[in-house]
Amino acid sequence: MLLRLVHLGITNAFPLLRLLPGGDRDKDIEILSLRHQLAVLHRRLDGQPVRFAPADRAWLAALLHPLPRPTLRRLRLLVRPDTVLK
């Protein structure tokens, strides 16, 4: 699991670095497109549970942990915010 978590950290660091020089407009467009893709995924799953690997859960929790709970509750996630914070 530790190796998988390190791999996720490294592979996700590059997309994060790519966002730094981008303007707010570019980031907003990317966020909106990701939200739309999540909406499509939610419709396709039709209530079926999504299975995350432990490393995926850890990465998601690390990314979302700094956000306040009200913000977390407004996000469109594949998991419930309380599950991420556990």
Tokens representing 23 are 């303007």
17-55: pLDDT as tens digits = 665 666 777 777 777 777 777 877 877 787 787 777 888
DSSP string, 45-76: HTTPPPP--HHHHHHHHHHHTTS-HHHHHHS-
Q: Which amino acid appears at position 86 of this protein?
A: K
In this prediction, residue 4 carries a pLDDT of 72
Q: How many whole angstroms separate alpha carbon 83 and alpha carbon 80? A: 5
More confident of the two residues 85 and 52: 52
Chain centroid, CA 51 distance in Å: 14
